[in-house]
Chains A and B, each alone.
Chain A
Amino acid sequence: KAGVTQTPRYLIKTRGQQVTLSCSPISGHRSVSWYQQTPGQGLQFLFEYFSETQRNKGNFPGRFSGRQFSNSRSEMNVSTLELGDSALYLCASNQGAGYGYTFGSGTRLTVV
Chain B
Amino acid sequence: GENVEQHPSTLSVQEGDSAVIKCTYSDSASNYFPWYKQELGKGPQLIIDIRSNVGEKKDQRIAVTLNKTAKHFSLHITETQPEDSAVYFCAASRGGAGANSKLTFGKGITLSVRP
Residues of A within 8 A of B (CB): 4, 31, 33, 35, 42-45, 48, 50, 55-56, 58, 90, 92, 96-98, 100-106
Contact = CB atoms under 8 A, between A and B. Distances in A.
B43 A101 contact: no
B105 A42 contact: yes
A48 B45 contact: no
Interface of B: 32, 34, 36, 41-46, 49, 89, 91, 95-108
Contacts, number: 65
A55 B98 contact: yes
Given A100-B34, A105-B42, A43 B101 contact: no
Nearest to B32: A98
30 contacts: A4-B43, A31-B101, A33-B101, A33-B103, A42-B107, A42-B108, A43-B44, A43-B105, A45-B102, A45-B103, A48-B98, A50-B98, A55-B97, A55-B98, A55-B101, A56-B101, A58-B102, A90-B43, A92-B43, A97-B97, A97-B101, A98-B32, A98-B95, A100-B34, A100-B46, A100-B49, A101-B34, A101-B46, A105-B41, A105-B42
A31 B102 CA distance: 11
